[in-house]
Chains A and B, each alone.
Chain A
Amino acid sequence: MDISFENVAYTYQPKTPFEHRAIHDLSFQVSSGTFVAIVGHTGSGKSTLIQHLNGLLRPTQGQVTIGDYQLSSDKKLKEMKELRRRVGVVFQYPEHQLFEETVAKDIAFGPANFGVDQAEIKKRTYEVIQAVQIPEDLLERSPFDLSGGQMRRVAIAGVLAMEPEVLVLDEPTAGLDPRGQKDIMDMFYRLHQEKNLTTVLVTHSMEDALHYADHVIILDHGTKYMEGKPAEVFVKKEELNKVQLDLPEVIQFIFKVEEKFGFRLTYRGQELSELAQELKELIRGADNHE
């Protein structure tokens, strides 16, 4: 589904002394099937933005359009439930939302709320546990017996079982070990491609944004600061530093190489180690020619 924000503003507790303007003058467009990363410093309004995508918050100004659904301040959306089914949100630390007796029941909770029948739920459950790599024998265990990493996978499976068309991820890898972080991100990327999802990733990690996203939106103080293709956005060192963001490691590496050797490596999604290898070969090649 296409997503578009038109001059959206959201104020928490308006007309009270605790009034707080979280986002303002926010406009952007994301076409269906895009993997978009939303990056910004803490408090830049990322999480508030996310809650507009499935109608948990309604803009106090402007208009949010998701597919055929429109959210604005003046009217309530009738098909809210349908919107929530089609936009799956994985919140920060999603393992905190588990509550059922067994893993299987917890995964079924979302689809059951949206009226999916038992047989279909069962079919989906087996699909999603494979996608998030949970062994089948865990299905009848209590979610509270699992390790932190497994609990998060179960929580994610619960969202995927709704078969959303838009997947919204709010720092899905926070607090995981490096291996777990990579596994989960790769999994989301695979799903994104296989199911042709529109994925919105909120992250602090420039590396993830560069590596997975097609489009990057940088927020600062509640409004859009920059947007574009990751490879174009993440080379603007001064602009990023102004909003307390760093370049991803690989880009920093490429810049350092340029500074030292006078030539530029081209970025095509390589890891740091692959870039180092490339550099090694280039230098060796240059040596051989002399």
Chain B
Amino acid sequence: MKGMHPEQPCRFAGVNFPLYQGDEESMKVLVAVKRVVDYNVKVRVKADNSGVDLANVKMSMNPFCEIAVEEAVRLKEKGVVTEVVVVSIGPNAAQEQLRTALALGGDRAILVETEAEVGSLTVAKLLKAVVDQEQPQLVILGKQAIDSDNNQTGQMLAALTGFAQGTFISKVEAAEGSFTITREIDGGLQKLALKLPAILTTDLRLNEPRYASLPNIMKAKKKPLDVVTPESLGVEIRSTLELVKVEAPEERKPGIKVASVAELVDKLKNEAKVI
């Protein structure tokens, strides 16, 4: 059947399949999380223009990935999903973010460990390899990572897997054999029906992520976390992009404080000439 998972029988594709059927039916969701510089940190460009300085900077789970984990856990709490597998691609330290995801309700974790800089296309290929192994019916990612600001990986993964795609979602409703999703688009909202298997990318309005409780943080330490390598997944890390340099943005020239509305209007009319 076109567009369905290559090996998995299309159990969720038939329109007559009731999603909330008995316990023997399992639905696995894979959630991708990224370790990024904390969103509150104002990053500084390195003096040699080779990149931004991330030494001794606080790192966290990308905010959109937190929303993705939260949605997966909520789907599990609603009985739509039976297993939540979290995956990250990055350095050994990304285990911290995976443990956080486990503390938030993930069942087990996979780290594809690499110290290399990996672009969105390579990440999508690595995730495709994990999807082939894990056979999830649903993959949830954030809409973009706040470091590269690419907004590509989910869409690329959809293209590589042939899964349906729902990006920038602010609402998910499980229906029989499909998901109804609401997307945030320019000018408003759009509702789509997606056949499973599907890829979803989260927008800010989807949910409010919970905090990990101390008991859950302790429990998360005992949950399984597998570490694999790109080589073991058969994916070569390569890129058609070369980072030439990174610069600080142009500084705006310092502004002035005006004392009154009248002075402001005068400046806008006669100095800036914008009204």
Partners in one complex: no
A-binding residues in B (CB < 8 A): none
